[in-house]
Structures are given as structure tokens and as C-alpha cells.
Amino acid sequence: MILVETISDFRAHRKKLGGTWGLVPTMGALHQGHLSLVERARRENDHVAVSIFVNPTQFAAGGDLAKYPRTLERDMQLLEPYGVDVVFAPSSDEIYPPHFQTYVTVEEVTQPLEGAMRPGHFRGVATVVTKLFNIVQPDRAYFGQKDGQQVAVIKQMTRDLNILVEIIVGETVREADGLAMSSRNTYLSYEERKAAPVLYRALCAARDAFQRGERDAEKLRAAMRDVLKQEPRAHVEYVSAADPNTLQELEVVENSVLLSMAVRIGSTRLIDNFLL
């Protein structure tokens, strides 16, 4: 496994190795969720690249960009046993050189939910993912279902821009108490960490209602809100029962539904979802 920090070095390496490539784009602070994607990429491709880049354009001004965990040495150690070929960890200037002025905007699917709460976030995600696709030219790229709207945005973007890459979505990996693994979980205090699985319990309540035959989307949203209300540390930003492709809120679930939520526990913003 080699560490590459420039685009030209990455391209030289890519050319030398040939074969099929899987890319796992990350912002580092790796956990089991990332590693399960890497494991799958290893099985499905000749070569695997993991990018580690804390992308400034997807953070709001005054957001948590500065305090986002940067743990490259530990990340490299975690990746070592997985047979990764290249870790691509560019600097901010390498990706956004002076006078950079081109961004990718995906329209409708970025408007609700995370897009409404975090203006500009998906413009940053779509731009950096397009750049990573152009640099790495992977056959397959691996993303976690935990960021359900991000998955919908990236699928829409690759279709719209005819980017020749297969988007593979890995299941959310959870702690024993159901909390979805996330690099931001490290921000939680002891008491907040105890409160955080309320997101999972809320999703389970809506899923159970769905499995009992409930198809009224408002009742599914109410089932999630009822559970979240019981946790005084939970401040709800949104709960949603939406079409998984368009992210538009449903009235009645006819086929599939993406149940999702964003909840603040203390100053930490957590998101989670179930795709039914």
C-alpha cells in the first residue's frame, strides 16, 4: 500500500498497474463502515484506491471543518490489512488550486432534507466526487447507505453527466446498540453517546409499523417523532419518509421508502436512515 499526495503521482501509478479499479472516497477518521466498503472493493476489483480528503467545500462557513478529525496515520494502519493499493490523500490546494472556479450542481434531489439544512453541502460533495472520479477513473465507487441522500445525489449526477462508474452502496454498519457508525460519533460526550441510539429506535418503530402494513407516510413520520420525543437530549431537525430516488416526501408508500432523520444530540448533528 502506498500513500500518494498528488494527482500526477496517482495517475502515474494508475497507468502502471492497469486492471479494474474500485474507489472508496472518504474524509478519513475511518471506522468499520468504511472498512466494510474497502473489503467489498477488494473483492470486486483488481486494484483498490481509498481517498482521504476532508473536503472544505462541503462544510458550511463556521461549521465543523476545523475540528473534523484528521487521523491519517491511524487510518493507514487500519487500511494496512485490507490489501489497498493506493491511499490518495491530497492537500486542499491540490484539489482546489488558486483560481479554482468550477462546481457541480445537482438540482432537485439536493433541495430537501440535508440540502435544506446544509446549503451548499451537496455542491461541495458533487464537485469533489466528480474530481475524484476524473482523477482515479474507477470502474466502481463505494458509498455507505448511511448518507442516503448523498447516494441519491451521486447516482443522479453520474447518470446526468454520463460518468462511466458503477455506484455500489454498502449497508450501514452499526454499534451493538444500533447507533450508526460515523466519524462524528467521537464528538459525543458519555451522556450524549448513551442518548444517541434513539435515532435507531425511532427508525425501528417506523419500520415495525411498515412491516405491520402501515403505508400512510405521515403515520410513519409520526412513529419516528414519538420515539424521538422521549429523549430530552434529542433536538429534531427533520424526520422524513420520502421516495428514495427523488427524496420527495410521500403521502402513501407504494413501493419503497427512505425513512430518514437528522437529530442534534448536544452540539453533534447525527443522521440515520432505513431504506425499506
Beta-bridge partners for 28: none
- Check binding of 26 to ligand PAF (CB under 6 A): yes
For residue 240, the minimal CB distance to ligand PAF (Å) is 19
Cβ-contact 26, 48 below 8 angstroms: no
For residue 159, the minimal CB distance to ligand PAF (Å) is 17
- Check binding of 125 to ligand PAF (CB under 6 A): yes
**Are β-strands 268-275 and 258-265 bridged in parallel, bridged antiparallel, or unpaired?**
antiparallel
- Check binding of 41 to ligand PAF (CB under 6 A): no
Note if 235 is an active site residue: no
User: What is the Cβ-side half-sphere exposure of residue 127, based on CA atoms within 13 angstroms?
Assistant: 18
Cβ-contact 175, 32 below 8 angstroms: no
Helices (H), 18-120: 32-44, 72-79, 92-95, 114-117
For residue 218, the minimal CB distance to ligand PAF (Å) is 30
Q: Specify the residue, 124 or 210, whose C-beta has the smaller distance to ligand PAF.
A: 124
For residue 61, the minimal CB distance to ligand PAF (Å) is 17
Cβ-contact 210, 220 below 8 angstroms: yes
Among 34, 99, 121, 235, the one annotated catalytic: 34
- Check binding of 157 to ligand PAF (CB under 6 A): no
For residue 147, the minimal CB distance to ligand PAF (Å) is 5
- Check binding of 129 to ligand PAF (CB under 6 A): yes
- Check binding of 27 to ligand PAF (CB under 6 A): yes
* Distance from C-alpha of 192 to C-alpha of 86, rounded to nearest angstrom: 36
* Distance from C-alpha of 114 to C-alpha of 107, rounded to nearest angstrom: 13
Site for ligand PAF in 95-114 (CB under 6 A): none
**Are β-strands 86-88 and 140-144 bridged in parallel, bridged antiparallel, or unpaired?**
unpaired
Query: Would you say the C-alpha torsion 196, 248, 115, 72 has a positive or negative sign?
Result: positive
- Residues in the interface with ligand PAF (CB under 6 A) total 10
Q: What spatial distance separates the first Cα and last Cα of the chain, rounded to whole Å?
A: 38
Q: Which stretch binds ligand PAF (CB under 6 A): 22-30, 63-71, 172-180, 233-241?
A: 22-30
- Check binding of 196 to ligand PAF (CB under 6 A): no
* Distance from C-alpha of 82 to C-alpha of 79, rounded to nearest angstrom: 5
- Check binding of 128 to ligand PAF (CB under 6 A): yes
Contact pick of 39, 75, 114, 147 for ligand PAF (by CB under 6 A): 147
- Check binding of 33 to ligand PAF (CB under 6 A): no
C-alpha cell at 4: 500518494
Given the rule CB under 6 A, which residues bind ligand PAF? 25-27, 55, 58, 125, 128-129, 147, 150
**Which residues are identified as catalytic?**
34
